[in-house]
Structure 1
Amino acid sequence: MSYSVDRLSILKILLHSAKYPSASINGLLLGEVLASGVSNSSGEAHANASDGEPALHIIDAIPLFHSFLTLAPSLETALCQVDAFCKSDGKLQVVGYYHANERLNELDLKPAARKIADRIQQRVPQAITLLVDNGKLPGLAEHKAADLLQLWVKDGRGWVRLPSSKLKADSGGLADLYMQMLLQGKHSQINDFDDHLNDLAKDWTNKDIL
């Protein structure tokens, strides 16, 4: 299977991480799982899929939590609302999970993250996990955007990290756009599900953030 992620999703993940730099954060990945030879929702052949190879394409990201990441009632409530959002859209589904650890030197999926990733993978067997490499975030200021997101998949051994070349990311102009959004304070405007639970007027879909 080939894996790809749109720039919109990457930006929302990075802004979520920038809003809570001293906390672990997580969220859901929305997109499509395409069988080999099937066109995407725009009607075009998937650009990142090889002939005869199915593809998982990430189109959007939904920020979930920055506190009490494994609180089951909040997670179940969020999953139900995201499912309803996907059904109303008619094209998207939950295809994965993203996570950023609290410390810069933590580059592994800790038990809490694996537990939530397992929950998503039980719903969608092809689901993946993206782990933010926090140590590389400062490099964006120098236009070094490579390998910011680690790709993890689950096989018979459990969750394993794949080479960065397996994830095709639409990162063209990402560094400039991200730094511009930081200067505009966009990271302080993004809302996760924690924010929504504290104030229902805050939109967890962040449809207007970009």
Structure 2
Amino acid sequence: MGGESRYEIKQEAYVKLALHAIKYSTSAIDGILVGRLLDAGSVQIVDAVPLSHSQIGLLPSLELALIQVEEHFGAQGLSIVGYYQANERFDDDELSGSARRIGDHIFRHFPLAALLLLNSKNLEALLKGRGKLPILQLYTRDSSKNWRKAETGTEEMTRLTLKEPSANSILLDYVSTEKWRDIVDFDDHLDDISRDWLNSDLFQ
């Protein structure tokens, strides 16, 4: 089933996770993907919730974040549909063990769960106007319960599409105005609970 699924990511989620990675460019970062099932094999990723920029996969804070995300977005008819991560090392484009474990947990509740790994090299090229390669690599679970990459240059790359084609232009606009400074992740919220982990005012 996972091999046939399609994923559409909305502009807000795409920009938010990219800004999270830009703000903490020298750290590993991660977050939760929230969305809905459009049909039997199609998932729409509506929002991204930045989680961490320090201790990726730390169980107590992760569990607390998952509970709050489920409560908030569940009231809107949305579910946790996946997880995203950017690695600490610029040249590291491999999915980490912690990402796979968190993905396994989400998969138990949402069998079309997606893992998105941000490619730092492609993001940098995009920001410098030198590249148009996708900044996100999609992984889904196969029938052997392994997380499998949708290989670049194959039909499977079309399994992850941007809802709004202008998303990269919007991202560049936000970067030019240093909007990435305003991103709050769950780590920041735990340090100061007055900071909004939902980033409600980010796009206003």
1:21 is aligned to 2:25? yes
Out of 139, 159, 166, the position equivalent to 2:159 is 166
8 Å CA contact retained: 2:31, 2:83: yes
Matches of 1:118 and 1:69, distance apart in 2: 15
Percent of aligned positions that are identical: 35
Taking structure 1 as the reference length, what is the TM-score of the superposition? 0.86
1:64-79 equivalences in 2 (<5 Å): 64-79=51-66
Out of 11, 18, 24, the position equivalent to 2:15 is 11
1:1-210 equivalences in 2 (<5 Å): 1-36=5-40, 54-89=41-76, 91-140=77-126, 141-142=128-129, 144-155=131-142, 156-162=144-150, 163-170=156-163, 172-210=165-203
**How much has 1:171 moved relative to structure 2?**
5.1
8 Å CA contact retained: 1:143, 1:176: no
Matched positions, count: 192
The 3-state SS of whatever aligns with 1:21 is: coil
**How much has 1:83 moved relative to structure 2?**
0.6
Matches of 1:145 and 1:26, distance apart in 2: 23
Unaligned runs of 5+ in 1: 37-53
1:108-157 deviations in whole A, cap 9, x for unaligned? Answer: 11112211111211221111101101111122231734311111001215
Taking structure 2 as the reference length, what is the TM-score of the superposition? 0.88
Aligned CA-pair RMSD: 1.5
8 Å CA contact retained: 2:100, 2:147: yes
8 Å CA contact retained: 2:83, 2:99: no
Extract structure 1 runs of 4+ deviating beyond 6 A: none
